[in-house]
Chain A
Amino acid sequence: MKHVSPLQPAAETKVKVPTRRALAKQQTRAKVLAAARRLFSEQGYEGATIRDIAAAAGMSTGAVFANFTDKSDLFREIMMADMIALGDAMREAAGRGRTVEDALLKMFSAGYAFYKSQLPLARAAFSVSWAPQDGPAIRNAAPVQSLHDLIAEQLEAAVARGELGQESEVKLRSQMLFDAYLSNFPQAIFHGWSLDALQARARDQIRILLAGARRG
């Protein structure tokens, strides 16, 4: 057994420098994810195979499997990265809202803008989210839950400000607002709705869903 003094390396650097091997692994993952994102967008979730993804990334299927357990793992990883970025964009947008209605509308618009350039990926995500096994994993994932929480926070803040009544059923109402937000995606995916059209629709939906909670 080789003896290594525990003090020696620690004294050199506090931050752990990634080994060359770890760096290579990171690059491989990034390459696979980029290729997978492209293929899921071009061929949908079902149409894209691990074999195609590996070929597009310029590596063997074995190398893909060394980094991801299966196709759904790969897809989830892409989805979650997007959900985190989307959450940041929505939070920033909500902060610019003057009223609860305005904040929600800005949030939703940020979401539609985020996916405007990658609607095929959104389509694949909806398809996966309705699958019996992969669906719950995506719906219950922390980054998706935090989108729900963000809506609930807007409602709670509005209740605290007195903009909405105390009996606002925040949980149910925020769930329904999120559902309404999602329900407009098919219009964008299949009917080519513009951002303006999506926004106009969302504004009306938000008004209806908030009406019962308004004071007075």
Chain B
Amino acid sequence: MKADVGSQPGALGARASQREATRNRVLNAARELFDTCGYQGTTIREIARHAGVSVGSVFTTFASKGEILSQVMQDRLEPLYAELDRVVPHLRGCTADRLRSMFAIHFAFEAPRARLFLAHIAAAYDWTLPATARPYGHTPRLQEVIRECLAKGVEAGDVDPAADPQEIIDLLMAAYAWTWRLAITRAADARAMTEAMDRQIGLICEGFRPR
């Protein structure tokens, strides 16, 4: 695309699209690097080199490595949530089974880039992460979907109305995050992780069945 240098608005537009192009190149390079080298193993310098841009121009768009990673993950969430929104209304069965399907979608989506996801979790503990970054664990949308699922369970009678939904959500999120350790320790794929998660969901659901 040739920029129109003759007029002022054209030049501004060209600069904006140039910035956009740089940003996309940085994000694409970062996605690949985090996925191969992990969070600690990836440096801004390497990202710049792979993107074919200067280190300085990376820093004009992003303040830190952690911010680049959270943007990469944020961009990935849109298709995941679109999939979730498409599937969730059609889920049938008991609360445990509906939760199992929801987490299965997550594992299937993230597992092909397991190391990227692990980098995302590791980044949550990074010292230098600025407040603008969204580290792992900030998943309001998923939590909302789980909350709706539990509310349905209360109506259907397989969730104790006295149970605290936030507590159940936290337990499920903890089980989900820690199930990813199987990707590190046993090189587990989506199916193996889903199976492990299914059993854990069953055990958590036993804990809030009406008695």
Q: Determine whether A130 belongs to the interface, using a CB cutoff of 8 Å to chain B.
A: yes
Interface stretch of the complex, out of B52-60, B77-85, B102-110, B117-125: B117-125
Task: Tell whether, in the assembled complex, residue B137 and residue A131 are in contact, meaning their CB atoms are under 8 Å apart.
Answer: no
**A132 CB–B CB distance under 8 Å:** yes
Residues of A in contact with B (beta carbons under 8 Å apart): 43-47, 123-124, 126-127, 130-133, 135-136, 139-140, 169, 172-173, 176, 179-180, 182-183, 186, 189, 201, 204-205, 207-212
Chain A interface mostly: helix
* Smallest CB gap from B167: residue in A: A204
Asked whether, in the complex, the Cβ of B128 is within 8 Å of the Cβ of A124, the reply is no
Q: Which of B137, B164, B178 counts the most A-chain CB atoms under 10 A from its CB?
A: B178
Query: Which range contains the number of B residues in contact with the other chain?
Result: 35 or more
Q: Taking CB as reference atom, which chain B residue is nearest A210?
A: B207
How far, in angstroms, from A208 to B169 measured CA to CA in the complex? 12
For window 161-211 of chain B, which residues contact chain A by CB distance below 8 Å?
163-164, 167-168, 170-171, 173-175, 177-178, 181, 184-185, 199-200, 203-204, 206-209
Residues of B within 8 A of A135 (CB): 118, 181, 184-185
Interface string of B16-42 (1 = CB under 8 A from A): 000000000000000000000011110
Q: Which residues of B contact A183 (CB under 8 A)?
A: 170-171, 173-174, 177-178
Q: Please state if A211 and B125 are interface contacts (CB–CB under 8 Å).
A: no
Interfacial chain A residues near B206, Cβ < 8 Å = 211-212
Q: Is the CB of A127 within 8 A of B181?
A: no
- Report Cα–Cα, A140/B208, bound state, in Å: 32
In the assembled complex, the Cα of A132 lies from the Cα of B120 at a distance in Å of: 12
Does any Cβ of A come within 8 Å of B115's Cβ?
A: yes
User: Contact at A172–B181, with CB atoms within 8 Å?
Assistant: no
**Which residues of A have CB within 8 Å of B174?**
179-180, 182-183
Other 14 A-B pairs with CB < 8 A, given A130-B184, A183-B171, A186-B124: A44-B126, A47-B127, A124-B125, A127-B125, A131-B122, A136-B184, A172-B200, A173-B203, A176-B175, A182-B174, A183-B174, A189-B125, A208-B167, A208-B168
